[in-house]
Amino acid sequence: MDLSPTFGFSLTIKLTMKKISILIAGFLLAFAPVKADEGMWLPMFVKRLNYVDMQKQGLQLTPEEIYSVNNSSLKDAIVRLGRGFCTGEIISDQGLMLTNHHCGFGVIQENSTEEHNYLDDGFWAMKKSDELPAGFAVSFLVRMEDVSKPINAVLNEEMSLMDRAKAIKKVSDSLEKAAVGEFEYTANVKSFYNGNEFYLFVYETFPDVRLVGAPPSSVGKFGGDTDNWMWPRHTGDFTMFRVYADKDNKPAEYSEENKPYTPKHSLPISLKGVEPGDFSMIFGYPGSTDRYLTSEGINYELEVRQPASVKLRRQVLDAYQEGMDQNEKTRIQYASKFASVANYWKYFIGQQAGLKRLKVYDKKKGQEDALAAWIAKDEDSKKLYAGVIEGFKTGYDNMKEANRVRVYLNEAIFRVEAIAYSFQFSGLKSALESDNETSTNQTMERIKGGMDAHFKDYNMSIDRNVFAAMMKDYSNDIPKENQPEDYKKMVTKYKGDFKKMADDAYAKSIFGSKEKIAAFLEKPSEKILAKDPIFMIQSSIIGHFRSNISPIIQTESEGLKRSERLFVKGLREMNSDKVYAADANSTMRFTYGQVGGYEPMDGAKYSHVTTAQGILEKEDPSNPEFVVPAKLKKLIQDKDFGQYADKKGDLIINFIANNDITGGNSGSPMINGNGELVGTAFDGNWEAMSGDIAFETELQRTIGVDIRYTLFIIDKYAGASHLIDEMKLVK
């Protein structure tokens, strides 16, 4: 799973999946469909809100063993990767960290060459000195705190959106500063329930993270795009890293003197496997969901955002694939980019189908009608909630075309790498125009520092083809009145021949070539930037967006944000006996439920697990997505599974549970009732792709890699048994 906000202009979209209530126990549960119940819960409230229910479903831990500020608890083994693109878990007292293969894919690709192709061959550090810098940091949650009271005390309904944001920031800055004190921590306040509540989170961040092991893509991405978001799966989607610290076990930048981090808690690993009805808990950092999206928001998704995203991403993928098929170097360069674009291309297709099939619009409309009827019963409520429901239609209608431009800005314009790269030079142009030598030098140094990394995995031929396709779509699909004049003049000049437009632009521009950029930076000129065709397109489109589109969005957001905030407030007041879970927002959450299969459609029933036999059944040597490495094939054929086989002698590959997750949760631990690691979450199921907007109790499932398959690959396939020796195995 992946969430990819781009340049701050995108509307955030979200996905998710569950919690649960048992109605039938014991033996019958193995044959009965397990219903899911949504819930992404803050661990600080586990004792008050969830503990009794969790005990009924099989939890053996105390609340303090799940979340504690003063003592070691499960939360101390959970890490946020970067700013929340994935989750990881600590599985040894030497800082060994497990996450998904697709979470580490960029690192694996970055370190791959034609001579050392870790994407195809895998990577295993046989000693700690072989481990490779990962290029991202991980954060441990120190504590969280409800700060709604001091922030809400300075807010009122008469405030404008801007004044409200300023007031929230002022109090938040003060709270964050006080929370950090003299510690080397970071802190941030996050909004919950669409701006009705606020919570403070304090983190300790470790920047020295190193790649330890990754299976080949034929294991880590087995099934490729074909199987993505699908069950049954047979994927070894895992990667291993290690967190390092200084001699005092404190965060430190990369240094050969650093030592493996000694964690407050590491997860023991169960070799017992899972059975239907077993307790399952996921801990992690879900990125974003939109469970409070209204019926008008559904219309926007189905009519504007998702169709455009699917169309544009498909064309980008086609351009990538054409270039990647040319040679091995380009295939390696664009492997991570292709995977990133493809992930949510398929997701949007599935979500559109799910929203329609499950009649989510009708369900949302019914919820809104119920709230409107409740509001109408009370005079005070009618005053407070005046115009809330109507505000959604007004806001979305008035922003429809502006939002279309915003989608195309993200999915088309900034998908062109040369255009996105040229955006970094906007500050340099301003510094040159103002003759600010200090600013010019600082900006140039920043650009020079990132130049090698940008061009390492850049192919001008591919980018030129993407440019031609995206410029054509932007020209044809965006109403002419919402296009900048300079851009329209360029299209007219080339008489709609976008290939010729692309050829000329890349021949004349400095942004398609590392050599041209290096030469420009030796003698930077504002005039060169002003005349550069790619810079001209970028600056004209961004300028037009800021001057003509952004004000519409800002104006209409005023009423829409008010409606969103009061809509959630009203729902919670109307159903005061119900505990609502807040939308995901990249803060630590846990979800709980049970292992179990499901019935995707009439006449079909899915088991809760898949086995190694399925890998052989799917094998197709002519299809890169379904190639099985020779060594793995022999191990499976010989049933050489060692201690990782189940009671029947089978090797379990993946399993499903009705936990509630979304993007950002990728890599999250799946934990049993004893607090032991049984799997690593990596995906959701196709039939419930609308789950980030409307949770489906009958269908929602999380797909995880059975930890025994992970250990089997590490030990029997890769021969990296020294890593197994670090872990605490529970048999």
The pLDDT of residue 119: 97
The pLDDT of residue 697: 84
* Identity at 64, one-letter amino acid code: E
Is the C-alpha dihedral spanning 541, 542, 547, 553 positive or negative?
positive
Q: Name every residue whose Cβ is closer than 8 Å to that of residue 270 and which is 6 or more positions away in sequence.
A: 672, 674, 676, 677, 678, 707, 730
pLDDT tens per residue, range 39-48: 899 999 999 9
pLDDT, averaged across the chain = 93
Find, among 528, 525, 535, the residue nearest to 486 by Cα: 535
pLDDT tens per residue, range 467-517: 999 999 999 999 999 999 999 999 999 999 999 999 999 999 999 999 999
Q: What is the dihedral of CA 287, 292, 297, 299, to 10 degrees?
A: 100
Q: Name every residue whose Cβ is closer than 8 Å to that of residue 499 and which is 6 or more positions away in sequence.
A: 468
The secondary structure of residue 10, as a DSSP letter, is S
The pLDDT of residue 35: 53
Percent of the chain exceeding pLDDT 70 equals: 95
Which CATH fold would you assign to the domain 26-137+207-288+585-730? Thrombin, subunit H (2.40.10)
Element (H, E) at 102: helix 101-110
Q: Please determine, for residue 9, whether its predicted confidence score (pLDDT) is greater than 90.
A: no
User: Residue with structure tokens 């489906």?
Assistant: 696
The secondary structure of residue 578, as a DSSP letter, is S
| Catalytic residue IDs | 102, 237, 666
Measured in degrees and rounded to the nearest 5, phi and psi for residue 414 equal -85, 0
What's the rounded Cα separation, in Å, for the pair 230 and 220?
15
pLDDT tens per residue, range 13-42: 233 333 333 222 333 333 334 555 678 999
Q: Please determine, for residue 7, whether its predicted confidence score (pLDDT) is greater than 90.
A: no
- Average pLDDT value for residue range 569-597: 96
- 3-state class percentages of the chain: helix first, strand second, coil last, to nearest 5: 50, 15, 35
Percent of the chain exceeding pLDDT 90 equals: 92
pLDDT tens per residue, range 58-72: 999 999 999 999 999
pLDDT tens per residue, range 527-546: 999 999 999 999 999 999 99
Q: Are 296 and 284 in contact (CB under 8 A)?
A: no
The pLDDT of residue 37: 63
The pLDDT of residue 20: 30
pLDDT tens per residue, range 651-672: 999 999 999 989 999 999 999 9
What's the rounded Cα separation, in Å, for the pair 404 and 549?
10
Q: Name every residue whose Cβ is closer than 8 Å to that of residue 5 and which is 6 or more positions away in sequence.
A: 12
The pLDDT of residue 648: 96
- Average pLDDT value for residue range 174-179: 96
Band of pLDDT at residue 696, cut at 50, 70 and 90: confident
First to last CA, the chain: 31
Spans of all domains in the chain: 26-137+207-288+585-730, 375-570
- Average pLDDT value for residue range 436-443: 90
pLDDT tens per residue, range 144-153: 999 999 999 9
Instruction: Give me 237's structure tokens.
Output: 């989607």
Facing residues of 671 across strands?
Answer: 281, 677
The pLDDT of residue 29: 34
What's the rounded Cα separation, in Å, for the pair 625 and 217?
9
Band of pLDDT at residue 5, cut at 50, 70 and 90: very low
SS3 of 493-555: HCCCCHHHHHHHHHHHCCCCCHHHHHHHHHCCCHHHHHHCHHHHHHHHHHHHHHHHHHHHHHH
Q: Please determine, for residue 723, whether its predicted confidence score (pLDDT) is greater than 80.
A: yes
